[in-house]
Amino acid sequence: MKPIKVGLLGLGTVGTGVVRIVEGHQEDLQRQVGSPIRIEKILVQNPTKARNIAVDAGKLTDDPWDIIRDPEIDVIIEVMGGIEPTKGFILEALSRGKHIVTANKDLMALHGTEILAKAVEHRCDVLYEASVAGGIPIIRTLAEGFSSDRITKIMGIVNGTTNYILTKMSQEGAAYEDVLKEAQELGYAEADPTSDVEGLDAARKMTILGSLGFGVNVELSDVSVKGITGITKEDILYGKKLGYEVKLLGIAERQDDHISISVQPTMVKTSHPISSVNGVFNAVYVYGEAVGETMFYGPGAGELPTATSIVADLVAVVKNLRLGVNGRKVLAPYKEKKLKTDEQISAKNFILLHVEDKAGVLAQITQVFAEHEVSLESVLQHPNANNPKAEIIIITHDANQASMKKVLKHFETMDVIQTIQSVYRVEG
């Protein structure tokens, strides 16, 4: 049987994992797809550099066009990352009828719609399981497992670095800066951690999940984003006391035809399954009208987990090749996008205030909530021995975001409130 020829763009950590799996599992793969799968050419920056993996030097090239223009190459696996020149390579490869497997969340989040349209035009597959939540097959779960259902909520821990930091802060009572430093030393966080800790990486992944889950062209600018840099030891401690863990959640919601997508630190009730997802693990919680609550848990990154998803996509492409049906199951967004307004976004809130420790303060504060029609689930006043100010923790019932903004604006004008220390969404 004629072998399927694959071009690999990039031989970093994940690219190396792909080579290992394709070579190591060749017999099993061949039995599934009916033909050998061969990685024929690999794009690298420096073909003479020493590497962690033995690769035939004749396969290495530093010229991308040597791969993209090779008529023998059937499938291109893109693990080089970045937006340009990667996007140009992929579009050109598609126009030449090559199928694409990519792990590139940035590219799919920003240009997924354009790339999928090009794929349909040329009857090519573009699969991107590895772009979200590494080893968890969440893309095919949304596309196929829940094809019959209407998904109304997707909540994801989709960034391992921030989940590692929050887990450490929770388990050890450590401060953000200290844990970040440790994570950087262990290689779990980048030297410049901005993209992770500010929630931007998670936002890109939620763009992809939201588009797929709701059939709508979600753009990165539709996602409201808040990172974890402001989370204090106190937040986590008070959360714990009330039965919550702080998690950086991507939350995509739909009500009727209106959607909202956000990334934000969230107080998650410890009875909710996503609250116990710890360390660098990822998890995606999906709520469907018919199926109800489900959750998918696994490694969010790493050489082999991510490569597992890439090679599973490769298997799907090759099966389609053998059946002659590539590019026929592309799920492009088909619904009109209607974003929720602040009035339509509703959630419980956790609010920690530092206030003057004197009579009548609590009455003034609760009066503000009443004025803006936000009702309260619980109020906890906490004298602080080291401090002349008191701490008040309030958990609201479901309140719309517009009202909450009014409450917080009102608080800023009140002399008795010294600081609005923290405001978190509450889930579970």
Residue ranges at the known binding site: 9-16, 105, 190
Are 53 and 16 in contact, with CB atoms under 8 Å apart? yes
Q: Which residue lies nearer to its own copies by CB, 18 or 395?
A: 18
- Choice from 315, 352, 374, 390 touching its own copies (CB under 8 A): 315
Determine how many CB atoms are found less than 10 A away from the CB of residue 244. Answer: 24
Binding to its own copies, residues 87-116 (CB under 8 A): none
> In the complex with its own copies, which residue's Cβ is closer, 103 or 352?
103
CB of 83 to its own copies, least distance (A): 27
Decide if 205 is catalytic: yes
From first CA to last CA, the distance across the chain in angstroms is 53
Site for its own copies in 277-296 (CB under 8 A): 277, 281, 288-296
| Peptide linkage before 64 cis (omega within 30 of 0) | no
- Cβ 216 to its own copies shortest distance, Å: 13
Angle subtended at Cα 397 by Cα 396 and Cα 400, rounded to the nearest 5 degrees: 90
Tell me how far apart the alpha carbons of residues 75 and 150 are, in angstroms, rounded to a whole number: 33
Please report, as residue ranges, which positions from 130 to 149 form the binding site for its own copies (by CB under 8 A).
Answer: 135-137, 140-141, 144-149
- Please answer whether residues 213 and 154 qualify as being in contact, where contact means their C-beta atoms are separated by less than 8 angstroms: yes
Burial class (CB in 10 A: 0-12, 13-18, 19+), 376: middle
Considering beta carbons, is residue 259 or 307 the nearer one to its own copies? 307
Q: CA dist 396 to 210, 226, 342, Å?
A: 27, 20, 16
- Rounded distance between C-alpha atoms, residue 109 and residue 203, angstroms: 9
Q: Which of 41, 87, 205, 389 is catalytic?
A: 205
* 150 binding its own copies? (CB under 8 A): yes
Least distance from C-beta 17 to its own copies, angstroms?
8
Among 53, 186, 325, 370, binds its own copies (CB under 8 A): 325
Tell me which residues are annotated as active site: 205
**Site for its own copies, rule CB under 8 A:** 17, 21, 25, 28-29, 31-32, 129, 135-137, 140-141, 144-150, 273, 276-277, 281, 288-299, 302, 304-305, 307-312, 314-316, 319, 323, 325, 328-329, 331, 334
